[in-house]
């Protein structure tokens, strides 16, 4: 069974600082990995999707890397802003025919103005 772990569970940084969020998974036989943002009491917004054959994906200030062999992914958020405050979840997709996702518990980020 795939186990997804996110460290740290919570993070507080001053505005402008770069954020580094870590995700690890136990089974390296993945199809893809996604990073989501969740605001309090809300659903999920997809941020980045990395296919298993890719090493990284970038969107604006966000960059996600994937090292499938070591079972790790890292989400970098450059020049953090108070609006980046949210919980960030990583989720691992098992196969192209199975769209179930295994989620980590998330990292709750607070960016202080």
Partner 1 sequence: GAVVSQHPSWVICKSGTSVKIECRSLDFQATTMFWYRQFPKQSLMLMATSNEGSKATYEQGVEKDKFLINHASLTLSTLTVTSAHPEDSSFYICSPRLAGRKETQYFGPGTRLLVL
**Quick one: 42 or 55, whose CB is closer to partner 1?**
42
- What Rg value do the Cα atoms of the chain yield, rounded? 13
Question: SS3 of 83, please?
Answer: helix
Query: Where along the sequence are the contacts to partner 1 (CB under 8 A)?
Result: 4, 9, 32, 34, 36, 41-46, 49, 89, 91, 96, 99-101, 103-106
Task: Tell me whether residue 56 is exposed, middle or buried, using C-beta atoms within 10 angstroms of its C-beta: 0 to 12, 13 to 18, 19 or more.
Answer: middle
Of residues 18 and 110, the one with the C-beta less far from partner 1 = 110
- Taking the complex as a whole, the smallest distance from the CB of residue 75 to partner 1 amounts, in Å, to 16
Tell me whether residue 21 or residue 101 sits nearer to partner 1 (CB atom). 101
Q: Determine phi and psi for 41, rounding to 5 degrees.
A: 70, 15
Which of these, 61, 56, 75, lies nearest to 6 by C-alpha position?
Answer: 75
**Residue closest to 6 by CA, chosen among 88, 85, 99:** 88
- Residue 34 or 73 with smaller CB distance to partner 1: 34
Give least dist CB 105 to partner 1, A. Answer: 5
């Amino acid at each position: 069974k795939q186990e997804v772990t996110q460290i740290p569970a919570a993070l507080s940084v001053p505005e402008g600082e770069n954020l580094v969020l870590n995700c690890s998974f136990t089974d390296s036989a993945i199809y893809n990995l996604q990073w989501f943002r969740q605001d309090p009491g809300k659903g999920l917004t997809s941020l980045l999707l990395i296919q298993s054959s890719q090493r990284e994906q970038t969107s604006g200030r966000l960059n996600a890397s994937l090292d499938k062999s070591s079972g790790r992914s890292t989400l970098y958020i450059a020049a953090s802003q108070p609006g980046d405050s949210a919980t960030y979840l990583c989720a691992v997709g098992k196969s192209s025919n199975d769209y179930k996702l295994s989620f980590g518990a998330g990292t709750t980020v607070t960016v202080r103005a």
